[in-house]
Structure 1
Amino acid sequence: MERLDIDGKFLRVGDRRVFLRMVTYGPFPGGWPADFAEDFQRIKAAGFSALRLYEWPDSRLLDAAEAADLQVFAGLKWAYSCDFFRREELPKAEAALTSGLATTGDHPALAGVFVANEVPADLARWMGPAKVRRTLESLIALGKASCPKLIWCYGNYPGTEYLEPGNADLTAMNVYLENEDDFRAYLKRLHHIAGDRPVLISEFGLDSRRNGQEAQAATLSWALRAAMEAGTAGMAIYAWSDRWFNAGSEVLDWDFGLIDRDGRDKAALAAVRDTQAGLEGSETAIPEFSVIICTFNGHDRIRSCLRATLALQGVDFEVVVVDDGSNDGTSELVAREFPEVRLIQIEQSGLSAARNAGAEAASREILAFTDDDCEPDPQWLSEIAKCFTDGWDAAGGPNLPPPPSNGIEAVVAGAPGAASHVMLDDVEAEHVPGCNLVVRRSTYFAIGGFDPAYRTAGDDVDFCWRLRDAGFRIGFSPTAFVWHHRRPTLPGYLRQQRGYGRAEAMLMRKHPQRFSPSGDARWHGTIYTGGPVRALNEAVIYHGPMGMAGYQGVIARVQPLRDLDDRFNTPVSRLVLAGISWLAPRIRAWERIRRFRGPVPPDLPAASPPFLEFALWTGEEREVILRRLLDDGWKIGGATDDWDIEKEGTRVLVATERGEGIEKCTLFRVWGDASKLEVLESAEVLS
């Protein structure tokens, strides 16, 4: 079986992009069936290509999956629904992972591993979100060191969006939304949470016991279509069978399966089979594009750029190359090797003037700008076309660094200061970089094109600000990406940052109202820098009152940077990255405001240590206990507080441990006078 690979925002098998069609399988009461052949044949016939498990598969299951041409994603089973630091469960998880990989890690049917599934939000808050995230990352790192060709991820859910591991290969999110509009809206959000990575819907289902079989069938059908149309990498239907075993017992009051407990087809099975057989992109009118590439001495870059551009799929387009006074033979190369490209030569005038010359020469309805150090994805324009059929005036998408070939490239890819998009919400952009900027011809000329004063950088920021000031709007397509080669050397990277600083000084003079007195740009939106959205040590997290918000995430204006590529994540690379991450913003600030200063860290109050922690074997969920305390006069804390309730200066955080073999145990953390809690008399004090 061919391996699954990551391909930008998508998955690939060999040279084919695939939409991963998964179904969850097990765990079942009584364990695995004696023979997998019948189940796997039915699963394959329903259009599925992969299984998601919640435990580690043995060779018998994997052999049967290989025979049925089904990929398998294993689940690492361990006690992640308790305080696994207090109970010292992590060494057991590491041992289980090492043992599983040693036994079946090289089996051709094993495609990937989920290192955990849904660490409960209250326990993540109790243990510390950044600490939990680092633990998940440590398991992924351990697995990758042994089996780097597998797909590594964590089964997250909206209650802990902030737990995305930085070194996971994709963002896997369990999503249960029964309204199609809500589901489609959340898929757009997920692309921003994932950053550069693919998005996998790792669970989606509907309980037919409460909603009926017809509603289940209809819901799974529209969800599959929505997941594909939104550019996700795949979707896992929950579940294959109504038979389900969880936390040590059979679950008899939920019916999420495509087949019932006796193995009979439910209406959802036929609906899913028919939907998967007809999954295609929506048929819409596609506008015509002029791709404009400006170059100066780009002889060593332009060939790869044009080969990728001419391989664009699904759209009608022309290519216009503007040579801005090169003296290295760039024009001769383009004319000789790419006669189908329209070549324009001008005296060296700078990037903005070259872009304007390209726009004047272009003949199509939509102008698509990219740079000579970029290689557009084959679906770049077919994906971004959706923004224009939806009525946006301009649009953009991500620019992703290609996989690095050495440690310096890995360091530069993880360093600050790369071209980034700024989002006002999940669909509208405040700024998109010029290497992936697409605009209606009429809109372009309505605002006068690019300002020729910007010769090397800053032109796209000025353009987007003027475009929005004129009442136009910028959409965003998370799957319309270009591969953007960063500077290949550290001196080249630092020179680029100096250039960005000089461009920002020009922007300050032209748009003073958009900068603070200290010289920082005043963005209204959130800056996305390629890394997945996740909790760092200083993160402020919206938990909701008493930690009960259904969607809990990081509150930040600038999202985290990309992690170092695993292949080059060495002590030396980390040291070099830390050094240039400190130096680059200061060099940029010097060029901008003539002050050598870096980013100002958030002024967060130091967390005070709790006075007491204790546990109660109540058998009750935390919500029951919190309601009881509220009835006793306790008050609800704030949505970003690290505690739940307060009374006369005493604050309390409550969490509940759950899971197989663990009786429900409620954990209390107290700041202040613990005697206010009457339950303390029967408590087990934690050291």
Structure 2
Amino acid sequence: MEPLSVDGKFFRSGGRRFDVRAVTYGPFPGGWPDDFAADFERIVAAGFNALRLYEMPDRRLLDAALAHGLRVFGGLRWPQAVDFLKDDRVLSAAQVSLAESLRALEGHRALAGVFVANEVPADLVRWMGPVQVRQALEGLIALGKELRPDLLWCYGNYPSTEYLEPENADFTAFNVYLESETAFRSYLRRLHHIAGDRPVLISEFGLDSQRNGTAKQAEILAWAIRIAREEGMAGMTVYAWSDRWWNAGIEVLDWDFGLIDRESREKPALAAVRGAWRDHGWQMVDGRFSVIVCTRNGASRIAACVAALEKQTLPAHEIIVVDDGSTDGTTELVAARFPKVRLLTLEPGGLSAARNAGAEAATGEILAYTDDDCEADEGWLAGLAGAFAKGWDAAGGPNLPPRPQTDAEAIVTAASGAPSHVMLDDAEAEHLPGCNISVLRTAYFDIGGFDPQFTTAGDDVDFCWRLRDKGYRLGFAPTAFVWHHRRPSLRGFLRQQIGYGKAEALLIAKHPQRFTAAGDAKWDGFVYSGGPVRAVEGSIIYFGRMGQAGYQGVTDRMQPLRPLDARFDDFISHQRLNLLEWLQPRLRSWYRCQHWTGRSTNHHRPAPRPDTEFPIWSPDGETRDDFLQQLLTAGWKAGGESDAWDVEKDGTRLLLATERGDGIGKRTLVRVWGDARLLPFGRH
């Protein structure tokens, strides 16, 4: 059993792509069974290849899993449903527990990864501070990676804390419970953007058969597995193996999410899941792609680019390399090493002219463009074909930077200014970078192709704008990615940014209505920069009325940047990155419109300190929702949907959060800005 690793938007093991098919297992009343063999044989027979636990496994469980070919994702157990930032001992104990668990399991091949936490309650995240909670989770992940860099690390997130993605997680894991096919599919598309460059694992999905019936449970699990595959999830986790469940110190008897019942009898859902794993679902669509790569003096890059194109799971109709006046032997190299490639040799005329020449020579129904410094993932064309099957006129996917090998590459990868897609929603794009864009042949020639005045950059922006002006629609294919090598030096990166600025000057002259007076592009959509969407200082978060929205997220217009690679995350690299971040927008602005202006800064104003805080203990299990209802009845008014408080009255504001532990009793935390004597309840 080879270790799992991240491969762009997917996982890989032993040189092959690995689709995680997991089921949650335990905790059970009475603890682990004496013998795992019976369960694990049934789990494997149902098509699963992985288990997700809510505690760290012992060697006995891992040995049994290894014997049955099952990978295990452990879960770190600690008091995450309390204010764990108030008392340093809580996180310290979690760190000790993690270290001890990993030491006991050192070297075991069945352990694939670890969830450092699962669904920190949204009200407590708001109470402690989203940035502070995220940083605490990142601290646990950093410790885990230091101790076991061979494992994959993540946080089990959910829609109520969508903004809580750890910067240093290896993949994005989300627990999603949606009973509508349309809503489920739509949210999975959103998760690709939340994750940025990372794979997405659905870490929980299930249905309570006690309330919905066993037939409905079976039906929903079957279509959920199918949709997860169609939407490019790196894995899917069914919740749960058994109806037997132990939580908060008691056996849970009022819901049944299991594939087997409390007497270990098979429910219809188990057969449905077994069939869903066997069904490969959608048929591959042959779009007759003509792949076009334009190059100039790309002898050091072109071989890797073309080799990747020849390994596509959906073979191209033809591969066309357009040599735009190379003098370094590029033409001879391509002709000698790739005899099946159509080679066009031109006098130097610029990138747009070369792209147009490739289109004129192409015979396919779809023209797919990538650059000579890109290596397309093996599923690139298959992902694009899936997008065109949905009716888009043009389509493209992410361009991901390969793992940096030097400090300069790491800094450039983390800097702003890289080619980015711009999204109008979770499926339709406003802009797709030229290193990963494909278009129907008919649409291409209808708008007249690329504008030859754009010789090095800006051509893709102009092209996308003209497509949309003609009524054509651009779709985003999240798994159709290319590995796009960034500039290997800081000097080369800054030269690239100067080139972008010059291209933007041409865009301003051609499309003045699409720019502000200061020379900034006016995008209607959301700019994605590769990093996971997460709360940072100054982020505006949509919490919903009194923090009760089921889906809560950051409302910023730009995705955070990629983090600095941990291997190069030191003081000097940060200083060089800061210098690059200062220079990049100013150089680009100067060559765009002769203004030496930088990026606008969001000046974060910290929230005022509260006047008092106190807890309320309820032996009957009353929570913040009960107390908020009392306050509303007493004339308090709900705050705004992005406010840091729940209710207000006569200038006094309150925030409430409920801690959750074993047993019925609950403790609710109350934060007061103003006069606490206005409250209809007091501390007790």
Shift in Å at residue 566 of structure 1?
A: 2.3
What's 2:271 paired with? 270
The answer on 1:64 being equivalent to 2:64 is yes
TM-score, normalised via structure 1 length:
0.98
- Matched letter for residue 473 of structure 1: R
What's 2:656 paired with? 654
Q: List per-residue Cα deviations over 1:499-535 (Å, max 9, x = no partner).
A: 1111111111111111111111110000000011110
What's 2:679 paired with? 677
Q: List per-residue Cα deviations over 1:117-139 (Å, max 9, x = no partner).
A: 00011110110001111111111
Shift in Å at residue 606 of structure 1?
A: 4.1
What's 1:636 paired with? 638
The answer to whether the 8 Å contact 1:114/1:155 transfers is yes
The answer on 1:349 being equivalent to 2:365 is no
The answer on 1:410 being equivalent to 2:384 is no
Shift in Å at residue 316 of structure 1?
A: 3.9
| Mean Cα deviation higher: 497-506 or 434-443 | 497-506
Alpha-carbon distance in 2 for matches of 1:294, 1:284: 27
Alpha-carbon distance in 1 for matches of 2:468, 2:315: 27
What's 1:553 paired with? 553
Alpha-carbon distance in 1 for matches of 2:81, 2:593: 50
Matches within 5 A, 1:374-453: 374-453=374-453
Alpha-carbon distance in 1 for matches of 2:202, 2:493: 36
Shift in Å at residue 443 of structure 1?
A: 0.4
Alpha-carbon distance in 1 for matches of 2:256, 2:57: 24
The answer to whether the 8 Å contact 1:19/1:228 transfers is no
What's 1:82 paired with? 82
What's 1:4 paired with? 4
Shift in Å at residue 660 of structure 1?
A: 3.3
What's 1:38 paired with? 38
The answer to whether the 8 Å contact 2:538/2:605 transfers is no
The answer to whether the 8 Å contact 1:322/1:344 transfers is yes
The answer on 1:95 being equivalent to 2:128 is no
What's 1:525 paired with? 525
What's 2:487 paired with? 487
The answer on 1:621 being equivalent to 2:623 is yes
The answer to whether the 8 Å contact 2:130/2:164 transfers is yes
Tell me the matched-pair count: 681
Shift in Å at residue 596 of structure 1?
A: 2.0
What's 1:253 paired with? 254
Q: List per-residue Cα deviations over 1:284-325 (Å, max 9, x = no partner).
A: 542101101000110111011011111112244201111111
The answer to whether the 8 Å contact 1:286/1:389 transfers is no
3-state secondary structure, aligned to 2:670: strand
Matches within 5 A, 1:115-194: 115-194=116-195
Q: List per-residue Cα deviations over 1:33-58 (Å, max 9, x = no partner).
A: 11111111111111110000000111
The answer to whether the 8 Å contact 2:611/2:672 transfers is yes
3-state secondary structure, aligned to 1:654: strand
The answer to whether the 8 Å contact 1:247/1:661 transfers is yes
Alpha-carbon distance in 2 for matches of 1:315, 1:671: 64
Q: List per-residue Cα deviations over 1:333-376 (Å, max 9, x = no partner).
A: 11111111111111111111111111111111000000000001
Alpha-carbon distance in 1 for matches of 2:374, 2:314: 20
Shift in Å at residue 663 of structure 1?
A: 4.1
Alpha-carbon distance in 1 for matches of 2:377, 2:117: 32
What's 1:472 paired with? 472
Alpha-carbon distance in 1 for matches of 2:337, 2:43: 49
Q: List per-residue Cα deviations over 1:199-237 (Å, max 9, x = no partner).
A: 100000000000011111111111111111111011111
The answer to whether the 8 Å contact 2:634/2:680 transfers is no
Identity in percent: 62
The answer to whether the 8 Å contact 1:287/1:315 transfers is no
Alpha-carbon distance in 2 for matches of 1:435, 1:293: 9
What's 1:231 paired with? 232
The answer to whether the 8 Å contact 1:21/1:235 transfers is yes
Alpha-carbon distance in 2 for matches of 1:567, 1:47: 37
Alpha-carbon distance in 1 for matches of 2:120, 2:578: 31
Alpha-carbon distance in 1 for matches of 2:352, 2:2: 45
- Matched letter for residue 653 of structure 2: R
The answer to whether the 8 Å contact 2:285/2:386 transfers is no
What's 1:221 paired with? 222
The answer to whether the 8 Å contact 2:615/2:669 transfers is yes
3-state secondary structure, aligned to 2:197: coil
What's 2:463 paired with? 463
Q: State the superposition RMSD in angstroms.
A: 1.2
- Matched letter for residue 602 of structure 2: P
Q: List per-residue Cα deviations over 1:83-103 (Å, max 9, x = no partner).
A: 101133110111111111111
What's 1:367 paired with? 367
Structure 2: runs of 5+ lacking an equivalent: none
What's 1:199 paired with? 200
The answer on 1:54 being equivalent to 2:54 is yes
Alpha-carbon distance in 1 for matches of 2:415, 2:150: 25
- Matched letter for residue 398 of structure 1: P
Alpha-carbon distance in 1 for matches of 2:663, 2:501: 58
Alpha-carbon distance in 2 for matches of 1:659, 1:330: 66
The answer to whether the 8 Å contact 1:106/1:147 transfers is no
Alpha-carbon distance in 2 for matches of 1:380, 1:121: 37
Alpha-carbon distance in 1 for matches of 2:147, 2:261: 39
Alpha-carbon distance in 1 for matches of 2:246, 2:672: 36
Matches within 5 A, 1:273-312: 273-278=274-279, 280-283=280-283, 285-312=285-312
Moved over 6 A (4+): none
